Every structure is written in structure tokens, then in C-alpha cells.
Structure 1
Amino acid sequence: MLADALLIIDYTNDFVARHGALTCGEPAQKIAANLVQLANQYLEAGKWVILPTDVHVADDPYHPETKLFATHNVRDSWGRELYGELDQWYHHHQNDPHVMMMDKTRYSSFAGTTLDLDLRARQVSSVALTGVCTDICVLHTAVDAYNLGYQITVYEDAVATMTETGQEWALNHFKTVLGARIL
């Protein structure tokens, strides 16, 4: 059973490509086809496909990530473009009313965005989470989704992160602490 909306989180060159600023590397590259397959499956079922995508200003002294991570996902840069097959998929479907790309500036796709309002306006009560990084942005989005009352599904073969330990920990946390369905 599909969730009401599929979220593909932060699947950009900086997080996925070999030379990305904060790349998850090969594990993230391997999920590209799965993301496109899921996106097509959700669209064919009349569901929503939402792409919450990290965006930053280079060397922003007020953003907490500036002190933690290398500059990444700068607006209008190669690093912020969607990676590979997903970029092609998005450009083909960007005018579909069931597809939306949205900016986010924090780990959670809900923090400082209209995502919750947008989902509720569309009568969405369940979300499927995919993308990167499993133990950072996907995790923080899942925690907020849980706290907002959404039912959560995580596609294990459509999330990736920088370490195997982080991947395992996050998947276990989704299931045992957030009550997520892991597929």
C-alpha cells in the first residue's frame, strides 16, 4: 500500500555525486533507479511526489551548518542540481501538478517550510521517505513527521548515508522509535 505522498529528500549532486561537497558516494548513487521507479509508481497512482531540497548561501555566518560542514547546495550551483536520473525525471515531470520541488534550509523538510500546510491541503496523512542522508535529513524529517501525526514509510533501498553504521542505526530508529513501516 502506497503512502499518500513520496518525499525524495536532498538527492543532489553535492550529496550524491562522486565529487559532491558532502557526498554519500556509491551507496547514494546506487539508489537512483529505485527513486525514479518509486516516483513513477506514485505518479501513476495519482499520489504526490515532493522533492524537499537543501539550499544554502555560501559562508552564511548565521546558519548553524556553516560551522559543521563544507559549503554545499548553494543556490544555482551544480552541487544543488538533482543527481543523475532523478534530475532527468524531474525536468520531464516538473509541470505535473502532483510534482513539487521545494527549498529547505534545515535538516528537516518541515523546519521553516510550508510542507505541513501543503500536505494537509492535499489531505495527505501518510508519507514515504526516501533520499539522503538517512541519518541526518531523512531522520529529522521523519521525527517531525512523527510529531505532526503522519504515518511514515521508509523505503530501505531508496535511502543512503555516509556510513553503514549510520544507515543501520537510522533504519532501526525509524522502526522502533517512530513506528515507521520499513519496506
Structure 2
Amino acid sequence: MKALIVIDYTNDFVDGSLPVGPPAIELDERMAAITQAYVDQGDFVVMAVDLHEENDLYHPESKLFPPHNIRGTGGRDLYGKLHNLYAEQSDSIYWMDKTRYSAFAGTDLELKLRERGITEVHLIDVCTDICVLHTAVDAYNKGFAITVYKDAVASFNQTGHDWALGHFQGSLGAVVWSAEDTILRQKK
């Protein structure tokens, strides 16, 4: 059994206070199409969404990045078509707040996956070499098989993005596929 984990496709990460910018904006339709395909198949779909508190000086990211994904702000809303999809189908998608790079750190994600018998996680979103990477490393360490859709992840810089894609395959044994060639083709 598999699950789709959609990581941090929010206004702040796409074109807000900590923007990936055009590479993330270009994913808008693909994010929604992939998510819809997994919902339609009855797979477990997780929105793993970064959550920060205003003026939190103790969070380690506060020294690395400008404030982003602050509780109660529009920057934390899902971006574009994914926002609309979630609004229409929230009963089929598990929303999970996360406060660290990895969707596993300090959350109930592993419990939710194990109780459903899920052994394989599929990852999409931003940032390839930060939150997607750390989630993939934790998934690997917990024994989950990993698939990353290379045409459904983006990062602040192409070098980090390319390095992470190689790392997924070479060091974590992940399958790195094109969503266009796999899940979206099956849907058509």
C-alpha cells in the first residue's frame, strides 16, 4: 500500500515570504492533478504543511530563514489549484502540521502510515533539497520504500534540486519517476 505526501506547497513557499518562485509556480496544475489521482485511487493522501509561530526565536529555522508559514496567515494556505482541491475534498485528505523539515519529526505521520499498512511513500512538493529530502531520509530510516516525482518537486536553486534527486536514488534507493510518464498517464 502507498501514500502520497504533499509537502509545503503553500503561498509562502511558492511566491510569498520564502519563495521558490517560478519552478514552484510551474508545478501548480501538476500538484493538483497528482493529488487528485491519488485521491481517486483511494490512497492515503497527506498534506504535510510547515507551521511556525510568530516571533518564535527558539525555532532553529528562525536563524536561517525569514518568517514563513506563520499560524493564521494566508502565507500558510495551500497554493493555487491545490488549495481549491483541498477545499473541495478535505474529507479525503489528511492535513498534518509539521514544525521541522521532515514530515516525520514530531508528528503522527509514521503512526498513520503503519496503522493503514502503508509500506511505500510517494513524495512531491518543495523544497527538493530541504523538506522533501529530510522526509525521504526519515522514511528510508523507518523502512518505507520511497518514490519521488522529479517533475513535481522544486527548490530554491537548481544545484540543490539536482543533487537531492541523485541522493534519493543513489543513497536512499528511491524510485525517481516522472509523474507525467506514470501516475498522470494512467489517469488519462
TM range (shorter): over 0.9
Q: Hey, what does 1:29 align to over in structure 2? A: 25
Paired letter, 2:82: L
Counterpart Cα distance in 2 of 1:23 and 1:152:
26
User: 2:128 is matched by which residue type in structure 1?
Assistant: T
Deviations, residues 30-66 of structure 1 (Å, cap 9, x unaligned): 1111111111111111111101000001221211011
Are residue 105 (structure 1) and residue 99 (structure 2) matched? yes
Please tell me whether residue 74 in structure 1 is matched to residue 76 in structure 2. no
Structure 2 gap segments, 5+ residues each: 178-188
- Write the distance in 2 (CA, Å) between the matches of 1:42 and 1:179: 22
**Given the alignment, which residue of 88, 91, 99 partners 1:92?**
88
CA-to-aligned-CA distance 1:101-156 (integer Å, 9 cap, x gap) = 10000000000000000110111100000010000000000000000000000001
Structure 2 residue aligned with 1:10: 8
Paired residues, what number? 177
Q: Distance in 1 between matches of 2:78 and 2:39?
A: 18
RMSD, aligned α-carbons? 0.8
Q: TM-score, normalized by length of structure 1?
A: 0.95
Identity %: 51
- Residue-by-residue CA offset, 1:54-103 (whole Å, 9 max, x unaligned): 0001221211011111000001101100001100010010022xx11100
SS of 2:91's equivalent? coil
The partner residue of 1:181 within 165, 170, 175 is: 175
Is 2:79 the counterpart of 1:83? yes
TM-score in terms of structure 2 length: 0.92
Give the AA of the match of 2:133: L
Runs of 4+, deviation exceeding 3 Å:
none
Cα deviation per residue 1:133-183 (whole Å; 9 max; x = unaligned)? 000000000000000000000001110001110110000000000000001
Between Structure 1 and Structure 2, the one with more helix by share is 2
Q: 5+ unaligned residues in a row in structure 1: which ranges? A: none
